[in-house]
Structure 1
Amino acid sequence: MACCDKSETDLWTIPLIALNVSVRKKLELYLNPRNMVAADWMVVAETMGFNYLEIQNYEATNNPTRKVLEGWQARSTDASVGKLLSVLTEVERKDIVEDLRPLIDEDVRKYCESLKKKSEPPVQVNDIDSCVPRDRVGLTLEDDPDGAPELFDAFICYCQSDFEFVHEMIRQLEQTDYKLKLCVFDRDVLPGSCVWTITSELIERRCKRMVVVISDEYLDSDACDFQTKFALSLCPGARNKRLIPVIYKSMAKPFPSILRFLTICDYTRPCTRAWFWVRLAKALSQP
């Protein structure tokens, strides 16, 4: 039986069954897309001990992450919450661990409370395995939790030192005849929620495209790194024009290699600067 006293819970003793549907669905959101720049479900499956033929079989399913978790839970005696977090850390998916840890801790708390009410740990716990989704809450200033979510033409990925250029982007693209709608985190997102959860929701479901403001400071930003890799994992390759890199000042560091296959909007070239905003606005206006 798992140790669930008032002291800090040993997550290695908590079985995987303790994790709610909501946590599992977020894991699927992160890991199902094939990813060339971050570990996906295949890397996680290999780390869990699945062999090549098993992984090939899971690849043929509609939801491989779900099948991997179910298979791991069924066959492994050490398929615990602690082991899952260890696997995600080992494959360098710190973003997933940081995003899901509050939800995981809440699920573990509910699981431990259910054990106290019964002499034997249940196979299924209603509070944990409920399929009732959490209510959607407002993420942005103009979001209506009771209506349609607020949508944007583009999510702007930037670091704080580049905010002056972001202000110029707002002026050129929103306050002119282009009338585009940009998602600028510091301006549009309500405070108080997990950064990783909000940015994932906005990039995947609320924004048609993402503009990445490239600078030396961008290369040192964990948040920008996560946002860029997440967007690339949703839509690999340049054919769908989902992600648009922008350079507005000279750089001392090399341009990020994961973006070199994408066409760049370069504000640093005086001879083409007159066309810069027209090209960017046209790209963001595409359906």
Structure 2
Amino acid sequence: MASFVPKMDLDSVPLTALNVTVRKKLGLYLNPKNTVAADWTAVAEAMDFTYLEIKNYETVRSPMAGVLDEWQARNKDASVGKLLSILLKLERDDVVEDLRPLIDVDVRRYREKMAERPLQVPEVDSCVPRTPEMSGITLEDDPDGTPEKFDAFICYCHSDLEFVHEMIRLLENSNYKLKLCVFDRDVLPGSCVWTITSELIEQRCRRMVVVISDEYLDSEACDFQTKFALSLGPGAEKKRLIPVVYKPMKKPFPRILRYITVCDYTRQSTQAWFWDRLAKSLSLP
């Protein structure tokens, strides 16, 4: 039997803390059909997936990866602790024991990132930054007044910056008058990038636009920003996150976002409506 950090401790760690290495290894163990030990289908049943849903996952390259992404997307209580409990209940102690060192590393990194976020003060005034270090982090911040707020945080990688410039030009003009938060343009240097990013996404921006591309899939910063935003509104409950595809992709679309309606610039037949639809989504209360 594997040795554990106290269960409640891991129950408080969302499944988004597990990186791609752990997820791939879970697939290596659980994707193959197994007549002796529990495989991915048993895990999916324990997560309350229906028979038809499980049959549909049989057609994807890594069913276990798809099930994990879907479970964390639609279940706000999905956690590392609950995943390990399921594996142990299904008597897959071998999987837990082999992956536990990697899981512990992911959990530690997650806690370190969360620890860098500003602490909630006992009494909150929405007009005052939560901690002194969170004042004066953007170009137009008033350190002695109201923190700068935005309609949307733009999550992008540097290879997609040309499209981000086009987004700025069209969405911040006189027709839409939206205020976008573009990290390279609006954020002042000198502070912890994870702390600032968390503050902006959670406290300063009503929405987040995710510019999806092949390069986005390889970006650690984009991965953190996307998972953090999803953790604030699991299952797209608050319509916080809006995926945008602006050029054809060679790599598969990220599973973690597939349940959210995409704003697709690559479709010529609907391209004329693209900016109006995106602007309306960002303008919603």
Normalised to the residue count of structure 2, the TM-score between the two structures is: 0.60
Match of 1:172? 170
2:176 & 2:198 partners in 1: Cα distance? 26
1:200 & 1:146 partners in 2: Cα distance? 21
2:252 & 2:223 partners in 1: Cα distance? 15
1:213 & 1:167 partners in 2: Cα distance? 12
Root-mean-square deviation (CA), in Å? Answer: 3.4
1:131 & 1:270 partners in 2: Cα distance? 52
One-letter identity of the residue aligned with 2:223: D
Name which of structure 1's ranges 155-164 and 90-99 shifts more when overlaid on structure 2: 90-99
Match of 1:227? 225
Cα–Cα, structure 1 residues 45 and 139, in superposed 2: closer, same or farther, change >3 Å?
farther
Cα–Cα, structure 1 residues 46 and 167, in superposed 2: closer, same or farther, change >3 Å?
closer
2:223 & 2:268 partners in 1: Cα distance? 28
Deviation digits for residues 102-125 of structure 1 (CA, Å, limit 9, x no counterpart): 99xxxxxxxxxxxxxxxxxxxxxx
Cα–Cα, structure 1 residues 150 and 253, in superposed 2: closer, same or farther, change >3 Å?
same
2:175 & 2:140 partners in 1: Cα distance? 21
Deviation digits for residues 111-148 of structure 1 (CA, Å, limit 9, x no counterpart): xxxxxxxxxxxxxxxxxxx9998524311000112111
- Superposed counterparts of 1:74-93, under 5 Å: 89-92=104-107
Match of 2:180? 182
2:17 paired with 1:38: yes
2:250 & 2:225 partners in 1: Cα distance? 22
- Superposed counterparts of 1:108-187, under 5 Å: 134-135=131-132, 136-187=134-185
Max radius of gyration: which structure? Answer: 1
Contact 1:246/1:264 (<8 A) preserved: yes
1:208 & 1:102 partners in 2: Cα distance? 18
One-letter identity of the residue aligned with 2:164: V
1:211 & 1:88 partners in 2: Cα distance? 29
Residue 244 (structure 2) aligned to one of 221, 246, 253: 246
Match of 1:94? 109
Query: Which runs of 5 or more structure 2 residues have no equivalent in the other structure?
Result: 1-8, 19-76, 90-100, 124-129
- Quote how far apart the aligned CAs of 1:280 are: 0.1
Is the partner of 2:16 in helix, strand or coil?
Answer: coil
Query: Which runs of 5 or more structure 1 residues have no equivalent in the other structure?
Result: 1-27, 53-85, 104-129
Q: How many equivalent residue pairs?
A: 195
Percent of aligned positions that are identical: 65
Is the partner of 1:149 in helix, strand or coil?
Answer: coil
One-letter identity of the residue aligned with 2:136: G
2:79 & 2:269 partners in 1: Cα distance? 46
